[in-house]
Amino acid sequence: MLCVLLLISGCGAAYIAPSVEPASRNESAPVDIVVVSMTPQAIAAANASPYSPRRVPGAFGQTASVPNRADQLDLPQTPGRPVDRPTALELRVPPAVTPASYRIGISDVLLLATRAPATEAEALTGILAAQNQRQGYTVQDDGTIAIPNAGRVQVAGRTVEDAEAMVFQALVAAELDPTFSLEIAEFNSKRVSIGGAVGQPALVPITLQPLRLGEALQLAGGIVAVDQDYASIRLFRNGTLYQIPLNDFYTQSRLQRIVLTEGDAVFVDTQYELDRAQQYFTDQLALVEAENSARANVLNQLQTEFTIRREQLQEQRDNFAALTELDALERDYVYRSGELVRQSRIALPYGRVANLADAIYAEGGFDNARGNPSQIYLLRGFGTSAGVRAYHLDARNPGNLILATHMQLRPNDFIFIEEQPITKWNRVVSQFVPSLFNQAASLSTGL
User: Across all residues in the chain, what is the average pLDDT?
Assistant: 79
For the stretch 170-219, pLDDT in tens is 888 888 888 888 999 999 989 898 988 899 988 899 999 999 999 999 99
Model pLDDT, residue 44? 93
Looking at the chain, the domain(s) classified CATH 3.30.1950.10 span 109-186
- Round to whole Å and give the CA distance between 34 and 40: 18
- Does 223 score more than 70 pLDDT? yes
Q: What is the mean pLDDT of residues 19-35?
A: 69
- Round to whole Å and give the CA distance between 214 and 75: 39
- Does 281 score more than 70 pLDDT? no
With a pLDDT cut of 70, the percent of the chain lying above it is 73
Choosing among 3.90.850.10, 3.50.50.60, 3.40.50.2300, 3.10.560.10, the CATH entry for 2-54+331-440 is 3.10.560.10
Is residue 341 a contact partner of residue 363, using CB atoms and an 8 Å limit?
yes
φ/ψ of residue 310, rounded to 5: -65, -40
What angle do helix axes 2-10 and 421-446 make, rounded to 10 degrees? 80
φ/ψ of residue 189, rounded to 5: -85, -25
Q: What is the mean pLDDT of residues 222-231?
A: 80
Choosing among 3.30.1950.10, 3.50.50.60, 3.90.930.12, 3.30.1490.190, the CATH entry for 109-186 is 3.30.1950.10
- Does 73 score more than 70 pLDDT? no
Tell whether pTM > 0.85.
no
For the stretch 291-313, pLDDT in tens is 777 778 877 887 888 788 888 88
Q: How many whole angstroms from its chain centre is CA 156?
A: 61
- The top-scoring range by mean pLDDT among 81-90, 110-119, 370-379, 420-429 is 370-379
- Does 162 score more than 90 pLDDT? yes
CATH class of domain segment(s) 191-271: alpha beta
Identify which has the larger pLDDT, 252 or 288.
252
For the stretch 37-63, pLDDT in tens is 999 999 999 999 899 998 888 777 667
- Round to whole Å and give the CA distance between 18 and 390: 14
For the stretch 362-412, pLDDT in tens is 877 777 778 888 889 999 987 666 688 889 999 888 888 899 999 999 999
φ/ψ of residue 81, rounded to 5: -100, 160
| Nearest Cα residue to 434 out of 7, 16, 17, 6 | 7
- Round to whole Å and give the CA distance between 185 and 183: 6
Model pLDDT, residue 343? 86
- Round to whole Å and give the CA distance between 437 and 279: 113
C-alpha triplet 265, 268, 269: angle, nearest 5°: 115
- Does 161 score more than 90 pLDDT? yes
Q: Which amino acid is at 232?
A: S
Model pLDDT, residue 97? 86
- Written in H, E and C, the secondary structure of the chain is CHHHHHHHHHCCCCCCCCCCCCCCCCCCCCCCEEEEECCHHHHHHHHCCCCCCCCCCHHHHCCCCCCCCHHHHCCCCCCCCCCCCCCCCCCECCCCCCCCCCCCCCCCEEEEEEECCCCHHHHHHCCCCCCEEEEEEECCCCCEEEECCCEEEECCCCCHHHHHHHHHHHHHHCCCCCCEEEEEEECCCCEEEEEECECCCEEEECCCCCCEHHHHHHHCCCECCCCHHHEEEEEEECCEEEEEEHHHHHHCHHHHCCECCCCCEEEEEECCCHHHHHHHHHHHHHHHHHHHHHHHHHHHHHHHHHHHHHHHHHHHHHHHHHHHHCCCCCCCEEEEEECECCCEEEECCCCCCCEHHHHHCHHHCECCCCEEEEEEEEEEECCCCCCEEEEEECCCCHHHHHHHHHCECCCCCEEEEEECHHHHHHHHHHHHHHHHHHHHHHHHHHC
Model pLDDT, residue 280? 47
183-192, 234-243, 332-341, 414-423: least confident range = 414-423
Identify which has the larger pLDDT, 221 or 20.
221
pLDDT band at 108 (very low <50, low <70, confident <90, very high): very high
Model pLDDT, residue 370? 81
CB burial of 38-68 (b: ≥16 within 10 Å; e: otherwise) equals beeebbeebeeeeeeeeeeeeeeeeeeeeee
pLDDT band at 69 (very low <50, low <70, confident <90, very high): low
148-152, 206-210, 223-227: least confident range = 223-227
- Does 1 score more than 70 pLDDT? no
pLDDT band at 5 (very low <50, low <70, confident <90, very high): very low
- Round to whole Å and give the CA distance between 364 and 369: 13
Model pLDDT, residue 227? 72
Identify which has the larger pLDDT, 383 or 162.
162
Looking at the chain, the domain(s) classified CATH 3.10.560.10 span 2-54+331-440, 191-271
pLDDT band at 338 (very low <50, low <70, confident <90, very high): confident
Model pLDDT, residue 228? 75
